[in-house]
A and B are shown apart, each in its own frame.
Chain A
Amino acid sequence: QLQLQESGPGLVKSSETLSLTCGVSGGSIRSSSYFWSWVRQPPGKGLEWIGSMFYSGTTYYNPSLKSRVTISVDTSKNQFSLKLSSVTAADTAVYYCTRPSSDSWGQGTLVTVSS
């Protein structure tokens, strides 16, 4: 069964870059049939789609975050990553990696942006 696990700092300073990695086990990230995504949820609020990536390299980003977001894949480590630059307090959220069509979700990691 496919399992995903987010990793990265839980605290990031304002104006710096948030970096998270999603490790994939139980399956290969080299699947052209699926898209891999990052989703976030600010405390007490709803889900927000950050972006998605196909193994082919095609990426799609939330237009409101596009100028600050990069999603990339490392096939040698079977993982994909999220970078969000110039963070502010508004970026404080639980960040999830997911392959939604397979109901594969990481447990989520809380990232707090501090001033």
Chain B
Amino acid sequence: QAVVTQEPSLTVSPGGTVTLTCDSSTGPVTTGHYPYWFQQKPGQAPRTLIYETSNRRSWAPGRFAGSLLGGKAALTLSGAQPEDEAEYYCLLSYSGIRVFGGGTKLTVL
């Protein structure tokens, strides 16, 4: 089974920019992996931020952007706000079998 790897933790300053990545053990991540990104805050259900690589959900602020970068799926946050502090998970599809990454704890400090 494929393993999906994310940075365990990242810190960004308020107003700063940070990129979270999602790596696949089977090789480069492509649009065919239909990357998703989810945000989860403590005690809450996850929320879908980005689906199918770069499609941002209507609730998600424009400062979040999904892309492919260097063979990985990437979530870039530009202009971080304190409310962006959360756990972020990516999800990749392998011919229908889906695998979550371990999550990135993002601190805005």
A91 to B98, CA, bound (A): 19
A26 within 8 A of B: no
Chain B: residues with Cβ within 8 Å of the partner, total of: 24
Could you say which residues of chain A place their CB within 8 Å of the CB of B51?
100-101
Pick the residue among B45, B47, B91 that contacts A49 (CB under 8 A): B91
Chain B residues whose CB sits within 8 angstroms of the CB of A39 once the complex forms: 46, 100
Chain A interface extent, by class: 20 to 34
Residues of B within 8 A of A58 (CB): 96
Q: Tell me the B1-41 residues at the A interface (CB within 8 Å).
A: 1, 36, 38, 40
**Chain B residues engaging chain A, CB cutoff 8 angstroms:** 1, 36, 38, 40, 45-48, 51-52, 57-59, 87, 89, 91, 96-103
